[in-house]
Structure 1
């Protein structure tokens, strides 16, 4: 009976690690596999608000919004961090897209789907706004013009930074 209880507890513990982090909860620790640049841990971005954009090179809406995410990152450089998480199966596809799009912010490959699951990326593009302590403040699905006046104001308001 004790063994059954222990196995059940372990199974439930593993199931919760596979669930997406809820809005208001802190992100779990994760190693980030760089698409250029150095490897990092997700926690290394704490201390400053963070925008996470989950995308794939084969996703038309993701490709459409990437330039606006990059312009937003450049506009607010220093006020918050921006990172991209590619769900591509092939590193070369993701790297080629980033090179062609001339993306300036760091991007990472999620080949094991660990981040996709944790972030709740059951559809993409997905953009998350995260506070300086690593708590998810908002989850936005679908392509947006992130540097438009209304969306830039939304980001500034949510992350509590100067517009």
Structure 2
């Protein structure tokens, strides 16, 4: 009677492990589900790095926005930054590109940009209030906001040129019915 218990326990554990593995296959690890998809993007008013007139998201309504959270201490951000620079140059007529400094000092961020380039506006989120509103868990994270101010998606980790181009192109397409409906209900 006791001889069947060990194989049965092993079968149960193996079945549970296979179920967990099966649920994870076919999913892109950069496609992290989040509650703001299809919701209006939280408005913000942030000062640009180095000073200047504050930038307000609601003033950009009517134009798609690519919003990238980054920091000078972030290794993957150094890898990603040239891709965003390329994107701003190549697709800046299709979307407004903006960087948001996350958990960093203005001095370090400005030094990073002197070395890496700064062809699009960079904003300072001094107390990370905006990052909290957007649900930022770490950097880099890039949010894609359509011309109506609806968050269409986000990309976690360094973005590659193909993904960036595809996401910007999606912003010019009509919102899927479920996304548009969710935005109207809020």
TM-score, normalization by structure 1: 0.79
Tell me how many residue pairs correspond in the alignment: 139
1:30 aligns with 2:41: no
1:134 — aligned with what? 149
2:80 — aligned with what? 65
Query: Cα–Cα, structure 1 residues 28 and 156, in superposed 2: closer, same or farther, change >3 Å?
Result: closer
Aligned residues of 1:21 and 1:27 also touching (Cα < 8 A):
no
Runs (4 or more) in structure 1 with deviation over 6 Å come to: none
Q: Counting helix residues as a fraction of each chain, which structure ranks higher? A: 2
Q: Which of 17, 41, 57 in structure 2 is aligned with 1:42?
A: 57
Question: Per-residue deviation at 1:111?
Answer: 1.0
1:156 — aligned with what? 168
CA distance in 1, matches of 2:45, 2:101: 14
1:99 — aligned with what? 114
CA distance in 2, matches of 1:65, 1:140: 12
Structure 1 spans left out of the alignment, 5+ residues: 1-19
Question: Per-residue deviation at 1:84?
Answer: 0.3
SS in 2 for 1:151: helix
Aligned residues of 2:44 and 2:56 also touching (Cα < 8 A):
yes
Structure 2 spans left out of the alignment, 5+ residues: 1-33, 174-186
- 1:1-21 C-alpha deviation (Å, 9 max, x unpaired): xxxxxxxxxxxxxxxxxxx86
Report the RMSD for the aligned CA atoms in angstroms.
Answer: 1.7
1:109 — aligned with what? 124
TM-score, normalization by structure 2: 0.69
